[in-house]
Amino acid sequence: QVQLVESGGGLVQAGGSLTLSCVDSGRTSRTYAMGWFRQAPGKEREFVSSLRIGGNTWYTDSVKGRFTISRDATKNTVYLQMNSLKPEDTAIYYCAAQVVFRLAVNAPKDYDYWGQGTQVTVSS
């Protein structure tokens, strides 16, 4: 059973940085990809970034050059380093794990397990 726990959210001024962490604290299953999504009030959950285990990374256009996804396999942890934050980055951020292989990695339906979310608020 995968149990994802996010941390690292908070309140930051525009231009600041935060690093989100997502640890699989449960019994580790084989994972094919990890993703970060976000959901702002009144909006649908949207793709932010994903990482194919042992492979490529992807980013939505609005965060390219500002966010970096990475993974520490020894700690069963995936990170999202967020720099140059903007007020429009304000949302609840969720990490997700793909344990049933799919080619696609950029939609909520491509993932099998989700964390509880962590709030990121960027003030102007």
Mean pLDDT of 57-80: 96
CA distance 111 to 99: 7
Q: Which two tokens stand for residue 60?
A: 């939505």
Mean pLDDT of 5-29: 92
**CB contact burial 55-64 (16+ within 10 A = b; e otherwise):** eeebbbeebe
Q: Which two tokens stand for residue 103?
A: 């080619």
Phi and psi dihedrals of 61, rounded to 5? -60, -35
Banded model confidence at residue 27, pLDDT cuts 50, 70, 90: low
Rg (CA), the chain: 13
Banded model confidence at residue 55, pLDDT cuts 50, 70, 90: confident
Q: Strand (E) positions, 8-83?
A: 10-13, 18-24, 33-39, 46-52, 57-59, 67-72, 77-82
